[in-house]
Amino acid sequence: MVDIPHFDLPMRLAGKSFAVVEQDSLAEITNCVVAAIRTEVGTRKELPDFGTTDLAFQVQPVNIQRFIDQIALHEPRVSMLIEQHPDIINELIASVKIAISAREEDTVA
Give the CATH number of the domain where residue 59 resides. Answer: 3.10.450
What is the predicted pLDDT for the residue at 92?
Answer: 78
* Conformation bin of residue 35: beta by default, left when phi > 0, alpha when psi is -120 to 50: alpha
What is the predicted pLDDT for the residue at 83?
Answer: 86
| Overall number of domains in the chain | 1
- Give pTM, 2 decimals: 0.79
Question: Which of these, 49, 52, 18, lies nearest to 34 by C-alpha position?
Answer: 52
pLDDT digits (tens, 9 = 90+) for 20-61: 999 999 999 999 999 999 999 999 999 999 999 888 888 778
Q: Which domain holds residue 37?
A: 5-106
Q: Are strands 5-7 and 20-22 parallel, antiparallel or unpaired?
A: antiparallel
Residue 16: count other Cβ atoms within 10 Å of its Cβ.
5
Q: 56: which residues sit within 8 A by CB, 6+ positions away?
A: none
